[in-house]
Amino acid sequence: MKILTILRKLGLVLSLAIVVSTVSAGETSTLKIPKAKQNFSAEQACVEPTDVMRRQHGLLLKHYRSDTMRHGVRTLEHSLVACINCHVTADEAGNYPTVHQGSEHFCRSCHTYAAVNIDCFQCHTSQPQESFSADMGPVQSD
């Protein structure tokens, strides 16, 4: 997959930032990233190896968004909806946090820490929805 090679190269700079934040997180424990609901497979936690996901998720999402929106390709790997469904977990009361509410939200937890502003969620929902199941995507009513 050509995109991954490009992504790996581009990722070098960002990876430094992640290392720094992980180290300082160990000391100050300000960075708490909620765990995903399930592993992608027995061998792999997410749809790509964790280091690729850490550095490249933005680019993967952007690539996938063009495939989906322009060409109607709708697989679940690299889809924002599937990310949200698996990664955004409920709090003790069983409520899902929105990205606008607190650092319990998966995306927010890291992006606030890294001081990166994301505007995905002005349009996209940041919460999983009941009608969507992790492995089936949108449950169609028919």
Q: How far is the CB of 19 from other proteins (least distance, A)?
A: 30
Residues numbered 78 to 117 that lie near other proteins (CB under 8 A) are: 81, 84-85, 98
The footprint of other proteins on this chain (CB under 8 A) covers a number of residues equal to 27
Q: How far is the CB of 120 from other proteins (least distance, A)?
A: 9
- Please calculate the CA angle 99-104-108 and round it to the nearest 5 degrees: 45
* Residue 96 or 113 with smaller CB distance to other proteins: 96
- Please calculate the CA angle 30-35-39 and round it to the nearest 5 degrees: 150
Answer for which of 5, 28, 41, 140 binds other proteins (CB under 8 A) is: 140
- Residues 109, 116 contacting (CB under 8 angstroms): no
* Residue 31 or 76 with smaller CB distance to other proteins: 76
Residues numbered 52 to 71 that lie near other proteins (CB under 8 A) are: 65, 67, 69-71
The number of angstroms, rounded, from the C-alpha of 86 to the middle of its chain's C-alpha atoms is 9
In angstroms, what CA-CA distances link 88 with 16, 99, 112, 120? 25, 9, 16, 15
Token pair recorded at residue 49: 């190896």
- Residues 38, 2 contacting (CB under 8 angstroms): no
* Residue 38 or 129 with smaller CB distance to other proteins: 129
Instruction: List contacts with other proteins (CB under 8 A).
Output: 65, 67, 69-76, 81, 84-85, 98, 122-125, 128-129, 132, 136-138, 140-142
